[in-house]
Structure 1
Amino acid sequence: MKQSAEFLQRRSSSDAECALGVIAEALMIGTCSEKLLETKADALFMLRKYEEVIQLCEQTLNSAGSNTLTTRACQSVNLDSSDLQRSSSFRLWRWSLIVKSYFHLGRLEEALDFLKKQEGSLPVMERSHNKTLESLIPLAGTVRELLRHKAAGNEAFQSGKHADAIEHYTTAILCNVESRPFAAICFCNRAAAYRAMGQITDAIADCSLAMALDENYLKAISRRATLFEMIRDYGQAALDLRRLVSLLTKQVEEKANQSGQSDKMNWINELKQTQVKLSVMEEESRKEITLNMYLIL
């Protein structure tokens, strides 16, 4: 445990990998050690293996609860608040890391769903002191606020209030820089609002920012290609469509190894439509048509 702690203090990827190796050996001795499991989760989080963090926390939560209940049953029934706090801490570090992992994956809706499920299972001690998940897991409040702004932006956009939508998406972006996939969604959504207001270059800029944050974001790539087509920049549109074809091809190959025929066919159809559009853009690009300066201005 001491050796793994020393590795993690250096906060480099190679040291985190070394820490995982040491922890794996230690877990062969103490399979239910809460400290070792928490250290392992921290190391995985440091390596940005967020899916593995979620899996580890969820898989060990029930067993940790059982261990705690067994320990408490063997002790005196007159437990004080510090005993209760220690016995419930196994939940909190797992909840916190699960929420953080969903946050960094950009899956804020799933983080919120998880929080809602856990609120009813707050330990008695925390509820008696009027503690909420926002006080126990500070990121919980941020997740709720970001989703509130995004939902307000979506509602404003659907109602045709594009300026209001831009304001909400901008607020969400300013509140958050750590969840890159979520910020990418907000930039892409704001691009749609800018396009609706005729601010094409602003829309292109936002799509570019979304793609910088999430290089595999299909909607942002497709949207920017359409925007380039609108201003007759067919060469740039073709570049984006080639990138889109490459990503869609990978998706189709992945789906080929999975079940769900309808889902696979949707990807195949989208790939075919994109390939047809790419051919058109390449043909238009060869004509060397001048840009639509009026639309750009």
Structure 2
Amino acid sequence: MAAASSPSSAPAKKQKKWLRGNNKLIHRYLGEARAALAAAAQDTEDGDDAAAAALGLVSLALEMSPRAEAALELRARALLTLRRYRDVADMLRDYIPSCGKSCSGDDATTSSSSSCSSGSSGSGDLAAVSRVELLSPDRDRSDAGAGAARFLCFDVSELKRRLVAGFSRNSNTEAQWRYLVLGQACFHLGLMEDAVVLLQTGRRLASAAFRRESVCWSEDSFSPSNTTSDVVSVTGNRRTSKSGSASVAPASEAESVSQLLAHVKLLLRRRAAAVAALDAGLPAEAVRHFNKVLDTRRSVLPHPFATACLVGRASAFRSAGRPADAIADCNRALALDPAFIPALRARADLLESVGALPDCLRDLDHLKLLYDAALRDGKLPGPSWRPQGGIRFGEIAGAHRTLTARIQQLRGRVAAGEGCSVDYYALLGVARGCTRSELERAHLLLTLKLKPDRSVSFAERVELVDEHRDLEAVRDQARMSALFLYRMLQKGYSFIMSAVLDEEAAARQRAKDAAALAASVPKQEDEAAKAEATAPVIPMPRTVVTAAATAATPMSMSPRLFCRDMAVVGSLLSRGGFDRAIPVKCEAMSC
């Protein structure tokens, strides 16, 4: 029997020895990777090199043990240190809530469990984790069938509960690092809602780990001042010594996670306030809230979140009647992400509203290319876990047909000669018939804000997570777009200023004509007075009426003859200069 069993036991011993050697090698790789990550966290200059070395060591460990929890955690943390947030999201994409929703919405034939299954150890269903009872309500109850007396000095069931709680390992506790690391990566990727959910879940699991660890502590070692972060680090250290896994969350990381969670909540509240103000018809209030989000000095903003906020502020500017500022925000958004569909839509609508039809057609053609690529690839541009501003793939086909008809209509208008009729009054935000001071003030404000040299300052407050675009490329794109808008503003200022100068010249001519007309009236009056003064005086003939003539004249005269004689007398008096009033006594005219 011994001779027969010796050949079969030899391979088993070799395999056992090989596994033991691999475990030692894996522990050595993980220890060196952990030390390299600690050095990378302390050294800011050579931190990337140390993190890259740690990532290489972890990759070697994963080749020997692909499902090692400690190796997976260290790989995720090394990628997070190297700012490779997309790789972290691709590694743990099944834990992203929005990814789970998109998977279930796009593929209706598959179930939610199969479409979002986890590729590594641990469950990836966030809803299932949230439904886990962190503290069992029956934890303090003893067995129902236990009939042990209660008069003993110690309880056997209580001792059993303490031992089980100390030696048991919960899968949710093992996987809580996923939520903390992935929550930080989602923040840098612009998935703010997912970051809040993941970070809150990680903190809740950390609290559960604290309560489970406190069960097996002695009363002497327990202190009410222990925080959740301290207990989590103690839990991680114990698990490191037993199973070889890495520490879950040190105290410093727990504090940074709490600060990050508060910052994300503040950004989401401000964006929600801006959207609510815009929906309520208060564009100035919406612009104020968006400015608080975009001009934050606390930390840099991830460029996907900043791009969405820039498009929202552009909508607020358009509602407030400031199309130039709205176009500038769309230019900044497209400099950060040239394939962002809402930004292209918004800028095309703004250019069409001011009458710049050729530029509008250029943006619509670019948008059509994006739609064609989406229909060809069967997905939206970019990774599947990143939404395109609320746009879904099912809407692309209908939007493509509408866009094609719109492009044909605009090309017909351009062919009819409407492409050069830009409404510069609407672009500069001034009314028709404005004064020179109003035009100069509006132009000065827009020039100071939208100068090409100042249009690239926003890139300093934005964090780029796209490996194919760097900060210089974003600045060049933003400068080119700002230069195009600046030239349009200068052309509009020249056009409106020429109209204002013509109006002022016409007004001066009208004032001059009115003054000349007003000055000619007194001259005519003076000339008439001089003419009347120099006119010759015609002497009045004197006739002597004798008594005989009076007696010969009949007493009764015809009224017609009397009126004629009075008219002759009046004309003679006017010729002789007797045009003054003659006092007449009523007694002299009596019969």
Q: TM-score, normalised by structure 1?
A: 0.76
Q: Which residue of 1 aligns with 2:567?
A: none
Answering whether residue 177 of structure 2 is matched by residue 102 of structure 1, we say no
**C-alpha displacement at 1:191, in angstroms?**
0.5
Structure 1 residue identity aligned to 2:48? R
CA contact (8 A) 2:79 2:88 kept: yes
Per-residue deviation at 1:62? 2.9
Deviation for aligned residue 1:274: 1.3
What do residues 107-136 of structure 1 show as CA deviations (whole Å, max 9, x unaligned)? 111222233444432335757645589736
Match of 1:270 in 2: 399
Alignment partners' CA distance in 2, 1:158 and 1:60: 43
Select the residue among 266, 270, 283 that pairs with 1:162: 283
Please say if residues 190 and 206 of structure 1, whose CA atoms lie closer than 8 Å, have aligned partners that are also in contact: yes
Is the Cα contact below 8 Å between 2:324 and 2:427 reproduced in 1?
Answer: yes
Q: Give 1:22 shift.
A: 4.6
- Cα separation, 2, equivalents of 1:235 and 1:134: 54
Distance 2:173 2:203 in 1: 15
What is the identity, as a one-letter code, of the residue corresponding to 1:152? A
Cα distance in 1 for residues equivalent to 2:339 and 2:401: 18
One-letter amino acid matched to 1:292: D
Report the AA paired with residue 153 of structure 1: A
Give, in angstroms, the shift of residue 183 of structure 1.
0.7
Alignment counterpart, residue 304 of structure 2, candidates 163, 169, 181: 181
Residue in structure 1 matching 2:59, options 10, 15, 24: 24
Q: Tell which structure's C-alpha radius of gyration is larger.
A: 2
Q: Does 1:135 align with 2:255?
A: yes
How far apart are 1:174 and its partner, in Å?
2.2
- Alignment match, 1:112: 196
Question: Structure 1: 5+ residue runs without aligned partners?
Answer: 64-75, 81-86, 258-262
CA distance in 2, matches of 1:124, 1:43: 26
Cα distance change, pair 284–44 in 1 and its aligned pair in 2 (3 A): farther
Deviation at 1:94, TM superposition (A): 2.9
1:156-235 alignment, distance < 5 Å: 156-175=277-296, 177-235=300-358
The 1:254/1:231 distance shift into structure 2, 3 A limit, reads: same
Q: Secondary structure at the match of 2:281?
A: coil
Tell me, yes or no, if the aligned pair for 2:354 and 2:423 is still in contact at 8 Å. Answer: yes
Asked if 1:293 is matched to 2:421, the reply is no
SS at match of 1:114: helix
Find the aligned partners of 2:284 and 2:315 in 1 and give their Cα distance. 11
CA contact (8 A) 1:200 1:295 kept: yes
Query: Aligned partners of 1:264, 1:185: CA distance in 2, in Å?
Result: 18
Deviation at 1:146, TM superposition (A): 0.9
How many residue pairs get aligned? The number is: 274
Task: Write the mapping of 1:13-52 to structure 2, written as runs, cut at 5 A.
Answer: 16=52, 20=55, 22-31=57-66, 33-45=68-80, 46=82, 47-48=84-85, 49-52=87-90
Task: Pick which of 218-227 and 89-98 moved more.
Answer: 89-98
Which residue of structure 2 lines up, in the alignment, with residue 62 of structure 1? 122
**Matched position secondary structure for 1:189:** helix
> How far apart are residue 164 of structure 1 and its match?
1.1
Question: CA offsets per residue over residues 269-293 of structure 1, 9 Å max, x none?
Answer: 1011112222233343452423111
List alignment gaps of at least 5 residues for structure 2: 1-28, 41-45, 96-117, 124-161, 212-223, 230-252, 381-391, 429-591
Cα distance between partner residues in 2 of 1:77 and 1:239: 71
**Do the aligned partners of residues 19 and 131 (structure 1) sit closer, same or farther apart at CA in structure 2, a change above 3 Å counting?**
closer
Q: Which amino acid aligns with 1:279?
A: Q
Identity %: 25
Which structure dedicates a bigger proportion of its chain to helix? Answer: 1
Q: Secondary structure at the match of 2:182?
A: helix
When normalised by structure 2's length, the TM-score is: 0.41
Q: What is the deviation of 1:294? A: 0.7
Structure 1 residue 227, shift from structure 2 partner? 0.2
Q: CA RMSD in A?
A: 3.8
